[in-house]
Amino acid sequence: MALTALDIYKLLPKTNCAECGFPTCLAFAMQLATKKVAIDACPYVSEEAKASLAGAAAPPIRLVTLGPPDRRIQLGKETVLFRHEETFYHPPALAVRVSVDGAPGGLEAALDAIDKLAFERVGQQLRVEMAALDDRGAGPEAFAAAASAATGRKLALVLMSDDPKVLEAAAAGCREAKPLLYAATAENWEVMAGVAKTTGCPLAVRGKDLDDVADLTQKLAGQGVTDLILDSGARGLSRTLADLFQIRMLALKKTFRPLGYPAMAFVAPGEHPIDPVLHGSAFICKYAGLVIFDSLEAWQAMALLTMRQNIYTDPQKPIQVEPGVHTIGAPDANSPVLVTTNFSLTYFTVEGDTEASRIPSWAVVVDTEGQSVMTAWAADKFNAETIARALETSGIAERVAHRRAIIPGGVAAISGKLEELSSWEILVGPRESAGIPQFLRTRWQQVAASN
């Protein structure tokens, strides 16, 4: 829990010397409590007080970094229970488990399959970024070779073995890629603490329950090992969700430091192919930092990545594209001009449907602060004035030989006023983006041919 001004005041010298720029120590404490000044502004504060304040200022959930240098993954440092309170910051990593000695078709094929779980959606690259290599008695050499092969593909790794020596041998060869070592337990935590310190890799902590995990993290922190990911030992949807919720609640609401780390969850295959998607989605929402699947097909990964992208988009900052003129295909001076908003989901839907028409086109994207067509229209951000301004200032007039623009059918009511305000003939397009191909092949072609 954050310290109050009074808590902070108790740690200050209380001499009111004003050298910090504030007339009294209490005034300084009040500024410090709201993080408007740094403790260093007081030259007389003791080292003990500084340490106490630094501890209180640490995030309630530690930020843990793993993965290769050019694909680093950050987990944790979340600040709220509910996305609408602020936002969620660090999307959970998704991993697929690979048995080193028994991957169907071999290790390379299994890693290839994970590599291919990558998609583009609304202008962002989404991917399953981790392979969880499971040593099933493969031995130190085979396991280290597997880790090396996976690192060469720039996959982030979880190295899973019951034998600390096997983990150490594999991690030593790929420590630059910061694999997650799985796992420290009540039986091996001292040895695993040594491996984590030697290799500089983050460490998973597996307990029998949350008390066990909290006990282990305190012991490990006492050894200086603090880049930890928590596995409560729960398996199955309801038990895992309950533990993930407890961990997040205790970390945020009680500032319970022993559980103030990102947590992980495992997803079993389930009875139906949709089960891993449903369970994984639940863990993405509440509150996993890492989810490990036994296997994932492309359609399952796409659903999970879409869910993750939506949940980890700042609700107050929709994903946006640049306002201005965009090309769809290779348009020329006679190509159609479509007007839309800069909400990414809207723009990329329009782009996809226009591509499907096979008629190269121009898109004039109006700055609606990331709102969709009807939302922006209702908010008066996508109206005759803003569209007329975009048509006049975007430079589209220099790129086409005609003066015809197509607006979405949902805002047909503004077409007359828009024609008055601009020097453009306004064509009312379909209400739904899916109607664009038909519209361009028929209505647009008729209008273009009438010249």
Q: Which is nearer to ligand SF4, 28 or 287 (CB)?
A: 28
CB of 17 to ligand SF4, least distance (A): 4
Query: Which of these segments, 20-28, 287-295, 311-319, 423-431, binds ligand SF4 (CB under 6 A)?
Result: 20-28
Is 10 an interacting residue with respect to ligand SF4 (CB under 6 A)? no
Site for ligand SF4 in 21-60 (CB under 6 A): 22, 25, 28, 42, 44
Site for ligand SF4 in 199-228 (CB under 6 A): none
Question: Are residues 78 and 89 in contact, defined by beta-carbon separation less than 8 angstroms?
Answer: yes
Sign of dihedral through CA atoms 362, 367, 369, 375? negative
Q: How far is CA 219 from CA 57, 76, 299, in A?
A: 22, 20, 42
Q: Which is nearer to ligand SF4, 12 or 171 (CB)?
A: 12
Could you tell me which of 280, 290, 291, 299 has the C-alpha nearest to residue 237? 280
Is 19 an interacting residue with respect to ligand SF4 (CB under 6 A)? yes
CB of 163 to ligand SF4, least distance (A): 54
Q: Which is nearer to ligand SF4, 24 or 255 (CB)?
A: 24
Question: Are residues 174 and 200 in contact, defined by beta-carbon separation less than 8 angstroms?
Answer: no
Other beta carbons within 10 Å of 393: 11
Is 301 an interacting residue with respect to ligand SF4 (CB under 6 A)? no
Is 177 an interacting residue with respect to ligand SF4 (CB under 6 A)? no
Type of residue found at 121 = R
Can you tell me the distance from the alpha carbon of 378 to that of 381, in angstroms, rounded to the nearest whole number?
Answer: 8
Residues in CB range of 361: below 8 A, 6 or more apart: 327, 328, 329, 331, 335, 336, 337, 338, 354, 440
CB of 255 to ligand SF4, least distance (A): 24
Query: Which of these segments, 8-16, 217-225, 244-252, 400-408, binds ligand SF4 (CB under 6 A)?
Result: 8-16
Is 241 an interacting residue with respect to ligand SF4 (CB under 6 A)? no
Query: Which of these segments, 17-25, 65-73, 93-101, 415-423, binds ligand SF4 (CB under 6 A)?
Result: 17-25
Tokens standing for residue 76: 């944790």
Q: Which is nearer to ligand SF4, 37 or 278 (CB)?
A: 37
Which of 20, 30, 160, 252: binder of ligand SF4 (CB under 6 A)?
Answer: 20
Can you tell me the distance from the alpha carbon of 59 to that of 1, in angstroms, rounded to the nearest whole number?
Answer: 10
Can you tell me the distance from the alpha carbon of 30 to that of 47, in angstroms, rounded to the nearest whole number?
Answer: 20
Can you tell me the distance from the alpha carbon of 295 to that of 301, in angstroms, rounded to the nearest whole number?
Answer: 10
Site for ligand SF4 in 375-404 (CB under 6 A): none
Is 147 an interacting residue with respect to ligand SF4 (CB under 6 A)? no
Can you tell me the distance from the alpha carbon of 26 to that of 378, in angstroms, rounded to the nearest whole number?
Answer: 49
Can you tell me the distance from the alpha carbon of 338 to that of 340, in angstroms, rounded to the nearest whole number?
Answer: 7
255-264 CB burial, b ≥16 within 10 A, e <16: bbbbbbbbbb
Query: Which of these segments, 7-15, 178-186, 386-394, 441-449, binds ligand SF4 (CB under 6 A)?
Result: 7-15
Which of 15, 218, 327, 423: binder of ligand SF4 (CB under 6 A)?
Answer: 15
Q: Which is nearer to ligand SF4, 10 or 208 (CB)?
A: 10
Q: Which residues bind ligand SF4 (CB under 6 A)?
A: 12-13, 15-20, 22, 25, 28, 42, 44
